[in-house]
A and B are shown apart, each in its own frame.
Chain A
Amino acid sequence: MVAVHSEYFAGVRLRSIAGIWFRHALVLKHTWLPSITWYFVEPFVALMAIGLGIGALVDDVDGLQYAQFVTPGIIAGSAMFHAIFECSWGAFFRIQKGMYETTMTAPVSTRELAMGDISWAMSRAVITGFCIGTVAAILGWIDTISGVGVLLAAALIGMQFGALGLIFAALSPNVHILSLTFTVVATPLYFFSGAFFPISVLPDWIEPIAWAAPLTPSVHLARGFVTGDLVMSHLFSALYVLALTAVLFPIAAALLHRRLVK
């Protein structure tokens, strides 16, 4: 396994990845004002409405105040949307506008292109997690140590959904198909990830499906950091996300290659 991986990643040019990351960071630097709504305002509104609104109606869940329960869920959801948006919508237009082709006129391979975009997807996931986490911390819904753990989970989410997003970008012939990424994939995953309620309240037959859905383990992991009692299931969750990424990434890179190198 290790040998296979070292071969797969041999010859990866780090500057390609750093350069693509730098490009994305520069765009954010120039567009930070409108971007705040994305990274912060929208998830903040969700956190407030659900944490305070539903929180007022609901008793403690799994030993947590409802707002505390939902905070890691909302961070995980926002992380997912950022990553998948960057790598599906963003990447799709970079393909369409010939921007990837331009990047490849520098000595950049398709695999590095994928890694660069995913590295940024991870960053976006962490940035949005940090913004929401800070507010939640001020409100006393999360403490700093747990927050760091949740950001770690956000990074994993960014990696996994970045790879998934690229698959959609590379496969979609047009924006109509591309939009299915959200309607059919991201949104249902979000609602059945355990972000808003424990998976255990679902009917028995849905439960295993919900557990297998890619966002659920990450929500479980993030919440593990908040409750503070990490058990084997959290480790398994992390491994599940890593394994899924290990499957998704080569597919994403190969599809991108097929789309760009003819």
Chain B
Amino acid sequence: MATDDANRYGKASTKVTSVSGRGEESVIHASSIAKRFGDVLAVDGVSFEVRRGETYGLLGPNGAGKTTTMRMVSGLSPLTAGELTVAGIDVSRNGREVRNVLGVVTQQDGLDTDLNSRDNLITYGFIAGLSRAQAEQRADAVLMYFDLTDKAKEEIDNLSGGMKRRLAIARAFMTKPQVIVLDEPTTGLDPQGRNGVWQELETMKQAGVTILMSTHYMDEAAALCDRLAIMHHGKILTEGTPDQLVVRHAGSEVAQVRVSNGARQDVMDWIGRAGFDYREAGAIITVSAHNGARPDLSGLEGVRVTYRQSNLEDVFLSMAGRKLTDE
């Protein structure tokens, strides 16, 4: 352990098993993994690869199968089918071994409410295999690293939601893992808490840590992920960089048409005849062109048309036929 301490976090570590070389090693390799709970096929044959140093996202609505996927990757949930390796370790054969290389942040913070912040880090570090002295040293370093030093002695119940989340992420960082698995880092946080977590993730990214994260916020996926997979009903619908996905599936710009109830059917008929894709949500019809260009709606009269850049929400809408979040 001590030998690794010296230079893990200036530069990315070289300990990860190289699969394909050329700086393109895949650290996590999932091949047709599936998980069944009784009648529910929570994950239905999902394949993806996370390369060293990248941040890979699973974007999808509640119930898409993100948590189940991440729990399988962490060796916390046995696979129903498929193959899964993390840093060269076969997860289905040695689920516990995987957690020696992974830092895992579960969807629930799971902080120990009987202990203060610093002791949360120390006990986790000790359980994970650091010596007591190492754990104490490392806890102070991690608190400093993530700007939490003034909360060291704070009881968990006195921390804000954002602080708790940051502490949970800091905890996963105790053992200097090469890979962090992060389930919904900012769900339920206010904008300020969210910002804090994003900063923390950026710090880890800079340190060369490989991150597998899940989210149902499209702006979060766009802001943090180098590549991402869009998940729905236990399947990956599409995969790529955020920009690629938007251009490929939603075009560069979409038009938004505001219609009254009376005019709605006429407008939709018109858009259909013009050969554009459209989706309705409330009083707004979002229109995109197949070729990715800005849809020309100049022939449409009596309605208000605005244009905006396409985003991942449009991608999800066009592929799944529903919105990412319910609000």
Contacts of A18 in B (CB 8 A): 126
Using CB atoms, name the residue of chain B closest to A105. B104
Q: 1/0 contact trace for A10-48 toward B, CB 8 Å? A: 000001101110110011001100000000000000000
- List residues of A (103-134) whose CB comes within 8 Å of B's CBs: 103-109
Do B96 and A107 have beta carbons less than 8 Å apart? yes
Interface stretch of the complex, out of B111-119, B249-257, B263-271: B111-119
Does B147 belong to the interface (CB within 8 Å)?
A: no
Complex Cα distance, B172 from A187, in Å, reads 41
B110 close to A23 (CB less than 8 A): no
Contact partners of B195 in chain A: CB under 8 A: none
Complex formed: what's the CA distance from A199 to B14 in Å? 68
User: Of the candidates B97, B112, B119, B128, which one forms a contact with A106 in the assembled complex, judged by CB atoms under 8 Å apart?
Assistant: B128
Interface residue ranges of B77-122 to A (CB < 8 Å): 77-78, 96-97, 99-100, 102-106, 108-116, 119, 122
In the bound complex, do residue B77 and residue A27 qualify as a contact, i.e. CB atoms below 8 Å apart?
no
Given known contacts A104-B76, A105-B74, A261-B76, A23 and B106 CB-to-CB distance under 8 angstroms: no
Mask: chain B, 245-286; 1 = CB below 8 Å from A; 0 = not: 000000000000000000000000000000000000000000
| A27 contact from B37, B104, B110, B115, Cβ within 8 A | B115
Distance of A111 Cα from B96 Cα, bound (Å): 12
Chain A: CB-nearest residue to B74: A105
Contacts of A5 in B (CB 8 A): none
Q: Determine whether the beta carbon of B110 is less than 8 Å from that of A97.
A: yes
- A16: nearest chain-B partner, CB-CB: B127
Contact B112–A102 (Cβ < 8 Å)? yes
Q: Is B63 an interface residue (CB 8 A)?
A: no
CB A192 to nearest CB in B, in angstroms, measures: 33
Q: Is the contact region of chain B dominated by helix, strand, or loop, or is it mixed?
A: mixed
Distance between A12 CB and nearest chain B CB, rounded to angstroms: 11
**Is A262 an interface residue, CB under 8 A from the partner?**
yes
Known A97-B110, A101-B110; judge A19-B97 contact (CB<8 A).
no
A20 to B100, CA, bound (A): 17
Please count the residue pairs between chain A and chain B whose beta carbons lie under 8 angstroms apart in the complex: 85
Q: Which of A19, A30, A103 makes the CB contact (< 8 A) with B115? A: A30
Report chain A residues within 8 Å CB of B99.
Answer: 104-107
A98 within 8 A of B: yes
Contacts of B96 in A (CB 8 A): 107-109
| Given contact pairs A16-B127, A107-B96, A261-B78, A26 touches B119 in the complex (Cβ within 8 A) | yes
Structural contact, A107 and B77, CB atoms closer than 8 A: no
| CB of B242 to closest CB in A, whole Å | 28
CB < 8 Å neighbour of B124 from A30, A31, A102: A102
Instruction: Flag whether B129 is at the interface (Cβ < 8 A).
Output: yes
Confirm or deny: A202 has a beta carbon within 8 angstroms of a beta carbon on chain B.
Answer: no
B108: nearest residue on chain A (CB-CB)? A98
Given contacts A30-B115, A98-B109, A261-B77, contact A105 B172 (CB under 8 A): yes
Contacts of B111 in A (CB 8 A): 99, 102
Contact A99 B112 (CB under 8 A): yes
> Whole-angstrom distance between the alpha carbons of A23 and B128 in the complex?
12
Residues of A contacting B128 in the complex (Cβ-Cβ under 8 angstroms)? 19, 106-107
B13 within 8 A of A: no
A108 engages B109 (CB within 8 Å):
no
Q: Do residues A102 and B110 form an inter-chain contact, with CB atoms below 8 A? A: yes
Which residues of A have CB within 8 Å of B127? 15-16, 19-20, 22-23, 103, 106, 108
**Whole-angstrom distance from the CB of B101 to the nearest CB of chain A?**
10
CB-CB < 8 A to A106: which residues of B? 99, 124, 127-129, 175
The answer to whether B18 has its CB under 8 Å from any CB of chain A is no
What would 15 more interface pairs be, CB under 8 Å, given A23-B112, A31-B114?
A22-B123, A23-B115, A26-B115, A27-B115, A99-B110, A101-B110, A102-B106, A102-B112, A103-B127, A105-B102, A105-B110, A107-B96, A107-B99, A107-B100, A261-B76
5 A-B pairs whose Cβ atoms sit less than 8 Å apart in the complex:
A16-B127, A27-B115, A97-B113, A108-B96, A108-B127
* Closest 10 pairs (CB-CB, A-B): A19-B127, A102-B110, A98-B110, A98-B108, A105-B104, A106-B128, A107-B99, A23-B123, A27-B114, A106-B127
